[in-house]
């Protein structure tokens, strides 16, 4: 099975580069599923129903999110009606939406996507390790489920790596989001789980993690809030990972980064 995972979409630049490059990715890599983190898609803060539908229309199968999930007012309503958009599974019980979803590819293979948020330097949610554990107990990789992806939306690289190692052999892919910078540690762990600490973002890298440079720099220099953060609007770069798994076990055979666009060094898997 071939899976494409794209890191945080940030604003218009992120949406544009994904819309431009996804047809080429689909043609060359022929993925069975495409998953995208969309929590910054709406002007850098949250995601709207309109944007989610646009992503589904161009071939995205699941949208994961993170700490900005509630920044747009209509999300609480929409997420209860759209099983393809999920929020971190370790939000307290009763929070709108769900933290995981299952869907089938064109060959009837079942894919489970779990979204979880870290707690180090983040909001104090429920234990992310227990939340993922409880969800995975319901399924068996390579039997009841053919592919399991865990998006850990977290600040600390140590927490992301600990999650990846903890789930080694129980997930097909554990990938980090939130930091917006692609890490150079794409690998397959000893138990067969593919891993990358952060997939990077889809957005304008001539920025401060996707935001127009002026206000973030001002806050670092003066420790004062001035204008609201706004996403950078230059040419975007798409960042993500390509994973190929064994259909019998659900474990990874290959993981490679994808970078396409204006600023970062481009890399693209060869099939």
Please list the active-site residues.
Answer: 68
What are 169's strand-pairing partners?
Answer: none
- The rounded distance, in Å, linking the Cα atoms of 192 and 195 is 9
CB-CB contact of 148 with 141 (8 Å): yes
Question: How far is the CA of 200 from the CAs of 83, 241, 267, in angstroms?
Answer: 25, 9, 13
Closest CA to 243 of 175, 164, 158, 145: 175
82 three-class SS: coil
φ, ψ of residue 21 to 5 degrees: the values are -95, -20
Residue 186 tokens read as 């794409």
φ, ψ of residue 149 to 5 degrees: the values are -115, 130
């Amino acid at each position: 099975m071939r899976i494409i995972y794209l890191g945080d979409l940030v604003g218009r630049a992120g949406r544009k580069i994904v819309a431009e490059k996804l047809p080429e990715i689909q043609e060359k890599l022929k993925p069975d599923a495409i998953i995208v983190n969309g929590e910054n898609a709406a002007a850098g803060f949250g995601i709207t129903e309109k944007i989610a539908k646009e992503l589904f229309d161009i071939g995205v199968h699941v949208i994961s999110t993170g700490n900005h999930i509630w920044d747009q007012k209509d999300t609480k309503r929409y997420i209860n009606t759209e099983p393809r958009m999920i929020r971190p599974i370790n939000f307290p019980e009763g929070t709108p939406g769900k933290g995981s979803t299952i869907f089938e590819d064109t060959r009837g293979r079942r894919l489970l996507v779990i979204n979880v948020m870290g707690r180090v330097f983040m909001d104090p949610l429920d234990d992310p390790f227990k939340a993922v554990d409880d969800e995975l107990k319901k399924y068996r990789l390579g039997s009841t489920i053919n592919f399991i992806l865990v998006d850990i939306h977290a600040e600390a690289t140590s927490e992301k790596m600990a999650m990846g190692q903890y789930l080694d052999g129980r997930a097909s892919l554990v990938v980090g989001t939130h930091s917006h910078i692609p890490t150079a540690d794409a690998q397959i762990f000893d138990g067969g789980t593919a891993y990358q600490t952060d997939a990077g973002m889809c957005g304008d890298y001539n920025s401060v993690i996707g935001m127009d440079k002026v206000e973030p720099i001002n806050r670092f220099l003066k420790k004062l809030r001035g204008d609201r953060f706004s996403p950078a609007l230059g040419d975007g770069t798409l960042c993500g990972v390509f994973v190929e798994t064994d259909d019998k076990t659900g474990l990874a055979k290959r993981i490679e980064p994808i970078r396409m666009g204006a600023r970062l060094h481009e890399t693209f898997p060869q099939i």
